[in-house]
Amino acid sequence: MAIPTDLLPGLAALVLAGASAAAIATPLSLPGSLPNMAGLGVGSTTEFAGGKDRMVGVVPGLRYVTPGGRLLEWYGPYAQFNFGGLTGFQWGPAVSLRLGRNDVDDPVVSRLHEIDTTVEAGGFIGYEYLNAGPVPWRLRGGINVMSNAGIVYGGARVNATASLWVPLHPRLYAGAGLGATWVSGSFNRTYFGVTQADADASGLPAYSPGGGLEQFTGWLALIWQLDKHWYGGAMVYGQRLVGAAADSPIVTQRGTRNQVTYGVGIAYAWR
């Protein structure tokens, strides 16, 4: 699976995820010789979904193949354990740290209800295809379903993604991806809603959205192999809020429905 498409300082984690995907598609590390990888990423994203004020984040990343051939992936706020194959069908549990909304710079949004940082749990299913011919491109797609079990929001969040990595040079890979996210009404009311108390405190109109399609996403990235063990990457990641989320006064009056995240990462690979 790709990393969940949320406005977190996890864009650099996406760079690390891309570094892993590119690394295992190089001629030196085809299936059966898959490397482990650990690294850090740094980048800039918005303070909250739909906002326009920015912050800088630093996140870790890890890709580890167990002795039994299972794959653990941890990229920034998201981690999953794959009980399927390293290519072909993949499935397993997933957990994610969802950042809250508090102490934001916007003087109006800062008067809205605060949202606690919380942990989501769920699972994923996907498929990964490697073209092991002269041009080792890699295609990956899947769906994950996450829930907070009503701790901060109720219902579920469903994310569908697809990504493609192709070599431009033996040491340089380009990647691109698309995604879409569906969320419950409780999720939208928590992160995009304006209660009557919020309206009285901030001057924004009260707003109680339902669920539905929340956003479309797309990204472009480059990964280059610096030497035998080190990989670097850069990525730009765009989000377009849609539906009830995009109609929130938090977005229309104080933020923007078009969110851009960008950053760089470096990772160390070993057998």
DSSP string, the chain: -PPP--SSTTHHHHHHHHHHHHHTTSGGG-TTSPPEEEEEEEEEEESSTT---EEEEEEEEEEEE-TTS-EEEEETTEEEEE-S-SSEEEEEEEEEEEP-B-S-S-TTGGGSPPB--EEEEEEEEEEEEE--SSS--EEEEEEEEEE-TTSSS-SEEEEEEEEEEEEEETTEEEEEEEEEEEE-HHHHHHHH-B-HHHHHHH-PPPB----EEEEEEEEEEEEEE-SSSEEEEEEEEEEEE-HHHHTSHHHHTTS-SEEEEEEEEEEEEE-
Mean pLDDT of each 10-residue bin along the chain, 271 residues long: 31 46 38 65 87 87 88 88 93 93 94 95 94 84 94 96 88 90 97 97 98 94 86 89 98 95 86 76
Distance CA(123)–CA(145), nearest Å, equals 6
DSSP state at residue 149: T
Domain count of the fold of the chain: 1
Q: Is there a contact between 57 and 12 (Cβ–Cβ < 8 Å)?
A: yes
Residue 180 covered by a domain: yes
Residue 1 covered by a domain: no
The pLDDT score that the predictor gives to residue 15 is 52
User: Residue 184 is part of a domain; what is its CATH number?
Assistant: 2.40.160.40
Give the torsion through C-alpha atoms of 116, 121, 127, 128, to 10 deg. 60
Distance CA(172)–CA(160), nearest Å, equals 27
The pLDDT score that the predictor gives to residue 223 is 85
User: What pTM was estimated for this model as a whole?
Assistant: 0.86
Identity of the amino acid at 168? L
The pLDDT score that the predictor gives to residue 94 is 96
162 Cβ neighbours under 8 A, 6+ residues apart: 139, 140, 141, 177, 178, 179
Per-position b or e across 142-155, b if 16+ CB within 10 A of its CB: bebbbbbeeebbeb
Q: How many CB atoms lie within 10 A of CB 111?
A: 16
Show the domain range for 65: 11-270
Residue 5 covered by a domain: no
The pLDDT score that the predictor gives to residue 161 is 92
Residue 230 covered by a domain: yes
Residue 6 covered by a domain: no
Give the torsion through C-alpha atoms of 252, 253, 254, 255, to 10 deg. 20
Residue 32 covered by a domain: yes
Residue 36 covered by a domain: yes
